[in-house]
Structure 1
Amino acid sequence: MSTYRFDKLLAPRSVALVGAVAREGSLGRSVLDSLRRAGFPGAILPVQPDHDSVDGLPCVPRVADLTMVPDLVLIAVPPPSVPEVVAQAAAIGAGAAVILTARLGRGPEDPGPVAHRIARAQGLRLLGPDSAGLAVPGAKLDASLFAHAPAAGDLALVSQSGTVAAAIVEWAARHGTGFSAVLSLGSVLDIGVADCLDYFAADYRTRAILLCLDRVADARRFMSAARAAARAKPVVVLRAGRHRPDTRAAVTHTGALARPDAVYAAAFRRAGLLAVQDLDGMFSAVEALGRQRPFPGDRLAILTNGRGIGLLAADRLTERAGILAQIPEIEGRAAGNPIDLGIDAGGPAFSAALEPLLADRASDAVLAIHVPTVRSDAGAVAGAIADTVKRARAGQTRKKPVFAVSLGDAEAARAAFAQAGIPHFTTDSEAIEGFLHLVRYREAQDDLMRTPDSLPRDFSPDMARARSIIAAALRQGAAWLDPIAVNGLLEAYGIPTVPITLAPDQDAAAAAAWPIIAAGGTVALKVVSPDVVHKSDIGGVHLDLTSEADVREAARSILARARRERPDARVTGFAVQPMVRRGQRRELIAGLAEDAVFGPVVVFGRGGTAVEVIDDRALGLPPLDLALARDLIGRTRVARRLEGYRDVPPADIGAIALTLVKLSQLAADLPQVRELDINPLLADETGVLALDARVRIGRAERGRHGRGHPRFAIRPYPAEWVRTLKLKDRTIRVRPVRPEDEGLFLAFFKGLDPEDLRLRFFGPVREFSHAFLARLTQLDYARAIAFVATEVDPQGGERMLGAVRLHADANHESGEYAIAVGRDARGTGLAFALMRLMIDWARSEGIGRVEGMVLAENRPMLAVCRRLGFTQGRDPEDPGLVKVKLELGGSQAGFGTIS
């Protein structure tokens, strides 16, 4: 339900408190005290059957007896009574309820699920149960169990844990940091993390979002909401329970490497969230984000009155992969960083050194560290720094960020920095972390906006062959593909493999080996068993065999050891392959694993038999493009070996990245593939070669809510919406937009005349920036679609003729469209066809309404809208605009597909 009725939750005009009692220390009394302490201006309506009044406020015995319909209902009653209270609140039309009561159970007939079913049927939103409440300081609403009312500010805090939320609120109270809202989600029945991300991403009062969680229930909703929020503003996430024991029974190397904590980290990274490891990290983020907006650049200048403390800060910055600015000689001061002013430096010395640093372009931010001494007062130094920063900001267009550390932590220093809006920390380590939070956020935004390379045109997987291989194995009841099937599957996706022959016994193995040996090669012999995943564990791999006799002896040895160590294992034969000389090739691992929360995960790292001990790996959520694949490679230690060294040439990084993209596509196309392990994947300057691989399969699960792959956390490219149109003797291809289409859009817009651009964008357009084009081409297919129409140009490439896009709101109730068609495609019916396709997509997604704004003078577009059944009405605030709207409804038939 996303943000539905969040206005009643976060901006209520009246609040009912069910379970209000006068007894000190009771749940109801604690919340009532919080409400009154904050000065809530609306009506407070206590509900209590045993008293006529509570703390001077008149009571009614039941919610149903209220003479005023409350926007928000706070529930603090015993668990068995909660469903009835929820039913009464829903019946009288309340908008939202916070269940403070704990231990409502998870069984179908327990109070929690029963209350949820009642609320959902009536549209009543629920926060909790086991919630520590919520606070909206700007509305003077504190319906929480926090010790202190949060101060007003522009940070939104959303926490599954009430104690973690309370700890952050307490820290913020001591440091003068404020919040736009604080929500304790508790044991979520209805309102969850994704709903809150959707709301606060669009909330103009919120500049950054702080997220504390230990689990994600719906990965697809979470990832969609998180990616949308992170594009709008910084989102910092702290996850508790990262090192819980891993109870999975992973059987492949990739499965073992894809531990839940690593998968969560990969998901946060993909969504553009800033992950912190502990409360100290969260506090650093709160301080930095509470006072400083993200900024361009990553070079830090360190100014201090002590060389040792400055070097410690520089060491910390370097260890965390930060950039120490190269500071030139400034006004007679020697070049170097950190800048040491000497132990006796006071306010004037700090001010004199800081002023030119703020104007200098050799750094992007300054960290000022002061260690108090008997000759250097913390408050005076802080005041001097604050005054210098304020003077510089008053006169500079670019306001360079300043971070401060006062190890004395005097109250006067804290007040001076807070008044000047300077993030203030008690240690150099905290300050470095705060600086890096803002740097990493800017880097994440840049990553989100990167345009990936185009995939090679010859990458067209043989899906029919791949699906046939999987189907045949499943019909036989197999859980693992045999080696021939594995090779066939990889070949279908263009991943080079080593030829393989299956032999049922030792004589057949020797016969299969003979042609290789006769040609001067040597042979690798491997056991084939559906019950043995890691062949080397039972000595099931023999290498460099040079004769038929060697092959027979190796086969006998494998069988004997298998019977001894794994008597239950079924040995169905042997795999015979020519030996591949590794030479200067690097051993890598690449594959797919399955996470219980986020579904398929792409795994990459250093390969070999000790892969799990080395633990050099990086994870990524599919779908991947080439930019994401290169980023995945770059996050491993083995990436440095791939660059080349001494007489070893660099490996073909492009071929490795393309292999990861191919595996990502395989995961999208074949939900039956549960784990895939290529180990080793050999790589050198000539490309890659899959030397050994295994694939676990299973029946495809029933799909989640929504279209697309049933287990993907991120909606993959919707290839099923590709269409071919025959319009006025022209063959036009229409497909969903891809991230690499940025150049196509730029060429299209440059080809439009100024009048076309004005009709499309409601005003003159002089420049199309990378950021602007990236937002048009990099879509979350769970929330938006854009169809681009192209035809083949004389050089054999694509030429864009037009595009239509639709972006759904957070509640998936309505979508806003936009369309542009080039002049050379006018009169072909393309605009009508694109609009029909967009409407079909909206219906398939369950979107109930399509809306748009059209210039009143754009008569051709208005005519198309009339043909499609849109209603039209002038915008009361701008008579030059016409608002068009089409009600779709869930049961109406679509316009049909276009072929």
Structure 2
Amino acid sequence: MSTYHLSSVFRPQSVAVIGGSPRERSAGRAVVRNLHAAGFPGQIGWVNPRYPEIDGIATVRKLKDLPWVPDLVVVTAPASIVPQVIEAAAERGVPAAVILTAHLGEGPGSAGERVERIARAAGLRILGPHCLGVIAPHARLNASIAAHTPQAGDLALVSDSSAIAAALVEWGVARSVGFSAVVSLGDTLDVDFGDLLDYFATDYRTRAILLYVEHIKDARKFMSAARAAARAKPVVVVKSGRQSQRNAGASTHAQALAGSDAVYGAAFARAGLLRVGALDELFAAAETLGRLGTFPGRRLAILSNGGGIGRLAVDQLTLRGGSLASLSESTIARLDQVLPEGWSRDNPVDIIVDADGERYAGAIDALLEDAGNDAVLVINVPTAFTSSADAAKALTRSLGQRDRYQRQKPVFAVWLGNDDAAIAALNAARVPTYATESDAVRGFTHLVRYREAQAALMETPPSLPEDFVVDAACARALVEAALAKGQRWLDPVATTQLLAAYGIPCVPVQIAASAYEAAELAETLIAAGATVTVKILSDDIAHKSDVDGVRLNLPSVGAVREAAEGILRRAREALPHAAIGGVVVQPTVVRPKARELVAGIADDPTFGPVIVFGRGGTAVEVINDRELALPPLDLRLAHELIGRTRVSRILKGYRDVAPADERAVALVLVKLAQLAADLPEILELDINPLLADRDGVLALDARVAVGAPRRLHKGRGHPRFAIFPYPKEWERQITLADGARALVRPVRPEDDALFRAFFARVTDEDLRLRFFQSVKHFSHEFIARLTQLDYARSIALVAIEPRSGEMLGAVRLHADADYERGEYGILIRSDLKGHGIGWQLMRIMIEYAHWLGLKTVEGQVLRENRTMLAMCESLGFSLHPDPEDASLMNVSLPVAEIPEN
């Protein structure tokens, strides 16, 4: 239901509190006190059947006794009667309720289940239960049990924990930090992180969104909302439970490496959120992002009046992965003119302990004009020689005189000591000021990480190679055959066939039930000049090395027989209850300069399939050099995943070892993501080791777990993906008016060049009719917004001429946060009007809207665009003049009743 009725939670005109007593620790009494203390301007009602008045405030016995219908009810009644309270609120047409009461339970027959059922049927939004309440300072609303009401500001705080929310309110009150809203989710019966991200993303009072997360219930909804919000404003998140690094008892290395916290981190990064490690960082990051705009780069120049403090700042920068800027020769020459002999002549710029305001100003001006840095950190240590306030004023004067280019360069300040005049000057100039050099460098890295996350959301991935062809039908047949036999694990032969179906090179394998049979199979390999590897075969043995179950480089048939006998004997002795299927026989691969990697698919209970990559081998879990990413992946995301690991450094080559084919490694990760998309029944997949050298990649050993997929998400699309994958099922072949054929498919992230070539063949007039203004330049950001789609709420379909690959036209549909309405837009190449392309695209778009479950498709068309208005009428749209703009017509089509084909 998303943002539906959330305005009644954060901007109600009237509030009714249900429950409470004269007891000092009564929750209902605390809420009423807070409402009055905050100066809530609307009507306040108090419902209490036991006390006719409390604290001199008259109550009514039942909700229906109020002479008005409240916008918001706050429920503090006992858990046993909360369903009755919600039913009474639903009968009166109350749009929203905040339930502070705890212990409603969950599951069939519980009070929580009854409340959810009643509220959903009535369209009544529920915040909680077991929550702190809601505070919206701009509306002078404090419908919570917090101790104080924070001042109005522009930070929205959403917390899983009531205690954390209350603590952060107190933190903000003590430091005069203002909020646009504070809300705790409690048990999340209805309103969740996704709903609130959607709401605050479009709330003009909110500049940044702060999240405290313990767990996510609906991962797809969260990811869709988070990605949309992060494009609009900073979203900073802190999550508890970082000690959850490993999955104990996992059956594959990939699963063992995909700890819960690491998966959350991968999800936050994919959504473009800035993750911080502690609550104090939450506000520090929001403050930095709020005062400074984004900037291109990560090179920091440091200016201080003390060499030691400057070097400490460099240490912090190095620890946090930042880059120290280099001073250009021209900048050094300029600094020589304004600084005394003995200054550092390097970065950090030490302007000596007796630096006055004039010296600060001269050095600051030089660094601001130096193109070799992207940001400047200015540090002042109070001394007996100079005035800290004068230095601060010199800094602010220099900033005030900056030209337009220089204003884009952020400046951070550390003014040690307690000089109120200095701090006041810096605050007045909106310079982020920190207590220590560590805090300042942390603020700088927050800004860098946020900017890089935003850029990543807009980047165009490289195109996949022409030979990226998979045999999904073959793979599905292998999996279905295993499931039909009741197998949990694919056998080694089926595993190699599965990998081969997706173009992942692997070593051929054969299965022997006994040592004698293993020797027979080895005879052919040895005759061909190969040595042989023998491995234990058992679904009950997760890691072969645990039972000494591998022998390599066996040169003779006798050695193979002896090795197989020993492997089988040791396995039965070590694990007498394990089902032993025999041994695997394969040629030994000798690639002495190959790096051992691990790549695979893990199954997370919240986010579903996760792609795992890192350093492989028998010590993979001890080394713990791994990174995770949520599928789907493209090549850019795959290369980023590789680059975050330590093993990526040795992939680059060293000494006499040539660089490995990193693109081949990235392609394996993309193929694994595609495999997870095509076959939800694949629950885990582990390739360890995956060898990589200059000649490419080779999977030496792999395991694949299969089973009935556990549906994690409601609605359409992949049942387990947290991010809606490319909707391949919406690829179509259409016939145009002249009999020509065309392909219609969803837009892909790599379609940047396709759109640019298309726009070059659209007239200025047609562009004006589509975008309601003249468009002269198509920036990368503009094109990225057309091609980088969240398929969970947006679709764009392009028509392509099959022979030339040229784009003929496109239609797009964007669903609102409540999945009630979708807004469409369409553009056809100017030289192709009259070929029926627009009609066909509109029909497919309407079909998609119905498939998605939308109720209405609507749009705006210029009155002068008679061709589009006529097509809309012929498709069944109703046309109405826009009440706010006489040049526009509003068109709408109800799609809920359209039957599916």
Give me the whole-angstrom Cα distance separating, in 2, the residues matched to 1:358 and 1:20. Answer: 60
Letter in 1 for 2:899: A
- State whether residues 761 and 830 of structure 2, in contact with CA within 8 Å, keep that contact through their aligned partners in structure 1: no
1:887 aligned partner? 894
- C-alpha distance 761-373 of structure 1, shift in aligned 2 (>3 A): same
Give me the whole-angstrom Cα distance separating, in 2, the residues matched to 1:55 and 1:404. Answer: 50
1:333-389 deviation per Cα after TM superposition (whole angstroms, max 9, x unaligned): 354222223334455543443344344433332222223345555555445544543
- State whether residues 813 and 847 of structure 1, in contact with CA within 8 Å, keep that contact through their aligned partners in structure 2: yes
- C-alpha distance 111-789 of structure 1, shift in aligned 2 (>3 A): same
Deviation of 1:886 (Å): 0.1
Give me the whole-angstrom Cα distance separating, in 2, the residues matched to 1:151 and 1:294. Answer: 27
2:739 aligned partner? 729
1:570 aligns with 2:579: yes
Letter in 1 for 2:845: M
Deviation of 1:527 (Å): 2.1
- C-alpha distance 885-185 of structure 1, shift in aligned 2 (>3 A): same
2:698 aligned partner? 689
1:771-798 deviation per Cα after TM superposition (whole angstroms, max 9, x unaligned): 11111111111101111100134xxx51
1:271 aligned partner? 271
Letter in 1 for 2:541: V
1:305-325 deviation per Cα after TM superposition (whole angstroms, max 9, x unaligned): 221111111111121111222
- C-alpha distance 550-394 of structure 1, shift in aligned 2 (>3 A): closer
Letter in 2 for 1:846: G
Deviation of 1:396 (Å): 7.0
2:283 aligned partner? 283
Of residues 306-315 and 664-673 in structure 1, the stretch that sits farther from structure 2 once superposed is 306-315
2:841 aligned partner? 834
Give me the whole-angstrom Cα distance separating, in 2, the residues matched to 1:640 and 1:699. Answer: 39
1:80 aligns with 2:89: no
1:92 aligned partner? 92
2:352 aligned partner? 342
Of residues 228-237 and 819-828 in structure 1, the stretch that sits farther from structure 2 once superposed is 819-828
2:130 aligned partner? 130
2:241 aligned partner? 241
Letter in 1 for 2:884: E
1:203-240 deviation per Cα after TM superposition (whole angstroms, max 9, x unaligned): 12212111111000011111111111111111101001
- C-alpha distance 346-165 of structure 1, shift in aligned 2 (>3 A): farther
- C-alpha distance 396-828 of structure 1, shift in aligned 2 (>3 A): closer
Give me the whole-angstrom Cα distance separating, in 1, the residues matched to 2:131 and 2:296. Answer: 39
Deviation of 1:601 (Å): 0.5
- C-alpha distance 264-302 of structure 1, shift in aligned 2 (>3 A): same
Deviation of 1:187 (Å): 1.7
Deviation of 1:110 (Å): 3.3
Deviation of 1:143 (Å): 2.1
Of residues 752-761 and 137-146 in structure 1, the stretch that sits farther from structure 2 once superposed is 137-146
1:850 aligns with 2:857: yes
Tell me, what secondary structure is at the counterpart of 1:215? coil
1:482 aligns with 2:491: yes
Of residues 486-495 and 347-356 in structure 1, the stretch that sits farther from structure 2 once superposed is 347-356
Give me the whole-angstrom Cα distance separating, in 1, the residues matched to 2:758 and 2:587. Answer: 52
Aligned length: 890
- C-alpha distance 356-772 of structure 1, shift in aligned 2 (>3 A): same
Give me the whole-angstrom Cα distance separating, in 2, the residues matched to 1:442 and 1:180. Answer: 24
- C-alpha distance 594-170 of structure 1, shift in aligned 2 (>3 A): same
- State whether residues 78 and 101 of structure 1, in contact with CA within 8 Å, keep that contact through their aligned partners in structure 2: yes
- State whether residues 178 and 290 of structure 1, in contact with CA within 8 Å, keep that contact through their aligned partners in structure 2: no
Give me the whole-angstrom Cα distance separating, in 2, the residues matched to 1:778 and 1:855. Answer: 27
- State whether residues 295 and 408 of structure 2, in contact with CA within 8 Å, keep that contact through their aligned partners in structure 1: no
- State whether residues 100 and 130 of structure 2, in contact with CA within 8 Å, keep that contact through their aligned partners in structure 1: yes
Tell me, what secondary structure is at the counterpart of 1:515? helix
Give me the whole-angstrom Cα distance separating, in 1, the residues matched to 2:131 and 2:731. Answer: 46
Tell me, what secondary structure is at the counterpart of 1:745? helix
- State whether residues 531 and 588 of structure 2, in contact with CA within 8 Å, keep that contact through their aligned partners in structure 1: yes
Deviation of 1:431 (Å): 1.5
Letter in 2 for 1:39: G
* Equivalent position to 2:661, from 652, 659, 662: 652
2:208 aligned partner? 208
- State whether residues 355 and 392 of structure 1, in contact with CA within 8 Å, keep that contact through their aligned partners in structure 2: no
- The alignment's TM-score, normalised by the length of structure 2, stands at 0.95
Give me the whole-angstrom Cα distance separating, in 2, the residues matched to 1:247 and 1:666. Answer: 23
Tell me, what secondary structure is at the counterpart of 1:148? coil
- State whether residues 176 and 418 of structure 1, in contact with CA within 8 Å, keep that contact through their aligned partners in structure 2: no
Letter in 1 for 2:518: A
Give me the whole-angstrom Cα distance separating, in 2, the residues matched to 1:519 and 1:394. Answer: 74
Deviation of 1:413 (Å): 4.4
Matches within 5 A, 1:708-747: 708-727=717-736, 728-747=738-757
Deviation of 1:570 (Å): 2.5
Deviation of 1:433 (Å): 1.4
Matches within 5 A, 1:107-122: 107-122=107-122
- C-alpha distance 477-771 of structure 1, shift in aligned 2 (>3 A): same
Deviation of 1:830 (Å): 1.4
- State whether residues 135 and 182 of structure 1, in contact with CA within 8 Å, keep that contact through their aligned partners in structure 2: yes
1:367 aligns with 2:373: no
- State whether residues 154 and 290 of structure 1, in contact with CA within 8 Å, keep that contact through their aligned partners in structure 2: no
Deviation of 1:394 (Å): 8.7
- The alignment's TM-score, normalised by the length of structure 1, stands at 0.95
Matches within 5 A, 1:295-374: 295-327=295-327, 328-329=331-332, 330-331=334-335, 332=337, 333=339, 335-374=345-384
Give me the whole-angstrom Cα distance separating, in 1, the residues matched to 2:27 and 2:557. Answer: 82
Deviation of 1:26 (Å): 3.0
1:628 aligned partner? 637
Give me the whole-angstrom Cα distance separating, in 1, the residues matched to 2:163 and 2:822. Answer: 38
Letter in 2 for 1:822: R
Tell me, what secondary structure is at the counterpart of 1:526? strand
1:734-762 deviation per Cα after TM superposition (whole angstroms, max 9, x unaligned): 11111011110110001112122122212
Give me the whole-angstrom Cα distance separating, in 2, the residues matched to 1:637 and 1:245. Answer: 18
- C-alpha distance 700-186 of structure 1, shift in aligned 2 (>3 A): closer
1:190 aligned partner? 190
1:775 aligned partner? 785
Structure 2 gaps, min length 5 = none
Give me the whole-angstrom Cα distance separating, in 2, the residues matched to 1:38 and 1:397. Answer: 43
Deviation of 1:887 (Å): 0.8
Give me the whole-angstrom Cα distance separating, in 1, the residues matched to 2:690 and 2:466. Answer: 23
Matches within 5 A, 1:436-835: 436-702=445-711, 704-727=713-736, 728-793=738-803, 797-835=804-842
Give me the whole-angstrom Cα distance separating, in 2, the residues matched to 1:497 and 1:245. Answer: 30
Letter in 1 for 2:670: V
Deviation of 1:557 (Å): 1.0
1:619-645 deviation per Cα after TM superposition (whole angstroms, max 9, x unaligned): 010000011000010010000100111
- State whether residues 246 and 258 of structure 2, in contact with CA within 8 Å, keep that contact through their aligned partners in structure 1: no
Tell me, what secondary structure is at the counterpart of 1:740? coil
